[in-house]
Structure 1
Amino acid sequence: MKKFVRSAVVVSVLGLAVSACGDAPDENEESSGGEKFEACMVLDVGGVDDKSFNQSAYQGMEEAAEENPDIEISYLASQGDADYAPNLANSVSKGCDAIISVGGLLSDATATAASENPDAQFAIVDAPSGADNVYGITFKSEQGGFLAGYVAASLSETGKVGTWGGINVGTPVTAYMDGFQQGAEYYGEQKGSPIEVLGWNGKDGAFANSFTDTAAGASTTQALVQQGADVIFPVAGGAGGGAFDVAQDEGGAVKVIWVDFPGCDYYPDDCQYIPTSALKAIPANVKDYLLKSADGDVPTGTYEGTLENDGVGIDDFNDFDSVITDETKSELDDIREQIISGDIAITVNGG
């Protein structure tokens, strides 16, 4: 069986050693002697060590700086949406050669900053380009979500699985939920035993209204578990960590499929509850953008990660490798190829 995109999408998570002001430590004194390239990142809420998209994006910055010591990296953390515009403005004033915004919630602020500073170069994770000086890094997350939904349904003993979102920011969250719903239901159709998906009906569903509040994540998860769901897919950044509290309380009867990044890397103590994770190649694409930009070949337009280009996928099965049957693994390989060919079409309804 193929390992999907684990090896291509992500590498093992590196420890994030950063100073209080957000500058990366000077771990590598050697330099090629070339001109310094200053790369700056504006984080969403949750901090650089949020075990979520901030941490993953900054990992890409670190990897770029490690490969090219002329790249100097730093970040500005956001405590709320009121910080987005000032943090972007500060990055422009600082003279950053590349400014990367993390998350679709920064779309409007990034578009405004790019319009007001046409000579500055921006990139944004989880949003398309809206200007010549903004590079969009997007993902067809519904494709990885479909595979995750199929895995969830194959493991469910109740015939009910659940998904919920952090904040409804549109397709960066709801496309995952669309894919998960359709993948789980597809399993039921193939096996002649319907699967019920709780928390999302293709138009609306359950949201914790936070990407950071683990207590809200736990209560949202618990509500689905009380309705019978025994495999949960939280699309909620750090707030999704609350699902592990429920899995622990349920003695492992509830399983959690993680989102965006390898759950077992970020939550090793909870790996026993994680059958797999739906992945986005965020570190690899942030790294690629910075290395090319520093070399004078600034990417433009919008990148779209897919199963075909290894931009999305699912992780290995870790502790569940012997639980997930060879039949299911083979079916997942076939489904992946059918999604790529278009034989399986996934409808993105949410937003």
Structure 2
Amino acid sequence: MKKTRPTLALGLLASLVLTACGAAPDEGASGGGAASDFTACIVSDEGGFDDQSFNQSAKEGLDRAKEELGVATIAVESEGSADYSTNIDSLVQQDCDLIIGAGFNLDVDLATAAQANPDMNFALVDSTFSDTQGEPVELDNAKPLIFNTAAAAYLAGYAAAGVSSTGIVATYGGMQIPTVEIFMEGFARGVERYNEDNDASVTVLGWDPDSPSTGSFVGDFSNTKEGQSLTEQFLSQDADVIMPVAGPVGLGTLSTVKASSGDQAVVWVDADGYESTSSGDLILTSVVKEIGIAVYNTVQEATEGSFSSQPYIGTLENEGVSLAPFHDYDSQVPDQVKTRIEELRQQIIDGSLDVSTPYDPS
């Protein structure tokens, strides 16, 4: 899987992130209309807005809303779980019209704030809302933004198997939760489909659909050293394509693969890693959640008075999830694999191929 084009390292978009209470909102560039009097706010989880994954994607959606809709914005970054409640309260105190939480870890604190502030709207990326007992709760002013990534991960697994030289690929997760397991399950099933189509025997390390309790997990979304350690283990077992589903922990995989100077590739998740990380030359493809679009659309709906608590579920069909281009690896992916992936994608969209998993959002 040698790359034939030079490395392309794309820098991250610079952004101002407020980390203290009481900061003034960042005014939008466009003036006039109701949107100019609207303040849209966001709070990150512990991964921060520079995670090169879903926090960053959510922030980019808010930034787009500021530029195109003319809304004022406030972004508050959390360094740990102890910050969630405080950061959300700071946004409430600043009279945000819409508060968006990035990540399932904010489900309880954001639901609590939504219940206490029925005149404010809230949205949560990648999760439904939960009460203090951890039970799902539905509120008129709280909208989940969730993504069915099983199908896109299925296609990524097929691609990984199709380019593997060793016949061994791998995946691991941050925490063992449904929004992580769905990636790993889809990936493994995609490999299985490749094996069926090609009478092959590509092996998946880190996840077994028949034994999910044996899956490989870091335990959080911040321990990059553990991500490096798991990656080293996979490389020692000859895995040559690895998919980390662990937010910024995946940066540990990129650094380890880069240091190995071998012929390995990485499948990124949430954002297109070729564009969001500085290691695009290592990215085979990415399982993309169009989080930025979901955030932007939610802000737009709120400014227009059409905000609803109806969950947004991103799918292949509505283009809420996708398989990113192969970029530098394009010439390394056999044409028959590309053709088959497109066939499978269309079959999933038209409903003739069912790739549902036990972890699908509802």
Three-state SS of the structure 2 residue aligned to 1:304 is strand
Select between 125-134 and 193-202 the one with higher mean Cα deviation.
Answer: 125-134
| Aligned counterpart, 2:219 | 209
Normalised by the length of structure 1, the TM-score is 0.90
The answer to whether residue 198 in structure 2 is matched with residue 223 in structure 1 is no
Three-state SS of the structure 2 residue aligned to 1:62 is helix
Shift in Å, 1:125: 0.4
CA distance in 1, matches of 2:25, 2:262: 40
Three-state SS of the structure 1 residue aligned to 2:284 is coil
| Aligned counterpart, 1:284 | 293
The answer to whether residue 277 in structure 2 is matched with residue 267 in structure 1 is yes
| Aligned counterpart, 1:339 | 348
Three-state SS of the structure 2 residue aligned to 1:256 is strand
| Aligned counterpart, 2:6 | none
How well do the aligned residues superpose, as a CA RMSD in angstroms? 2.1
Taking a change above 3 Å as real, the CA distance of residues 64 and 184 of structure 1, as seen in their structure-2 partners, is: same
Shift in Å, 1:119: 2.1
**Which of 280, 303, 319 is residue 328 of structure 2 equivalent to?**
319
| Aligned counterpart, 1:240 | 250
**4+ residue runs of structure 1 moved beyond 6 angstroms?**
22-25
CA distance in 2, matches of 1:206, 1:331: 29
Taking a change above 3 Å as real, the CA distance of residues 258 and 19 of structure 1, as seen in their structure-2 partners, is: closer
AA matched with 1:346:
V
Unmatched 5+ residue regions in structure 1? 1-11
Shift in Å, 1:227: 2.1
Three-state SS of the structure 1 residue aligned to 2:74 is strand
**Which of 197, 203, 215 is residue 196 of structure 1 equivalent to?**
203
The answer to whether residue 142 in structure 2 is matched with residue 142 in structure 1 is no
Taking a change above 3 Å as real, the CA distance of residues 347 and 341 of structure 1, as seen in their structure-2 partners, is: same
Select between 281-290 and 29-38 the one with higher mean Cα deviation.
Answer: 29-38
Q: Is the 8 A contact 1:165 1:173 kept in 2?
A: yes
Residues matched between the structures, number: 337
Deviations 1:251-276 (A, max 9, x none): 232210110111111223x2221111
Deviations 1:316-340 (A, max 9, x none): 1111111111111110110001112
CA distance in 1, matches of 2:27, 2:14: 12
**Which of 253, 263, 267 is residue 253 of structure 1 equivalent to?**
263
CA distance in 2, matches of 1:335, 1:195: 19
AA matched with 1:179:
G
Three-state SS of the structure 1 residue aligned to 2:288 is strand
Shift in Å, 1:234: 0.3
Shift in Å, 1:128: 2.9
The answer to whether residue 55 in structure 2 is matched with residue 54 in structure 1 is yes
Three-state SS of the structure 1 residue aligned to 2:332 is coil
Taking a change above 3 Å as real, the CA distance of residues 248 and 48 of structure 1, as seen in their structure-2 partners, is: same
CA distance in 1, matches of 2:42, 2:165: 43
Shift in Å, 1:13: 8.6
Deviations 1:31-68 (A, max 9, x none): 11645101111110122222121111000000011011
| Aligned counterpart, 1:126 | 126
AA matched with 1:212:
S
CA distance in 2, matches of 1:173, 1:132: 27
Taking a change above 3 Å as real, the CA distance of residues 314 and 197 of structure 1, as seen in their structure-2 partners, is: same
Q: Is the 8 A contact 1:176 1:235 kept in 2?
A: yes
AA matched with 1:15:
L
| Aligned counterpart, 1:80 | 80
AA matched with 1:32:
G
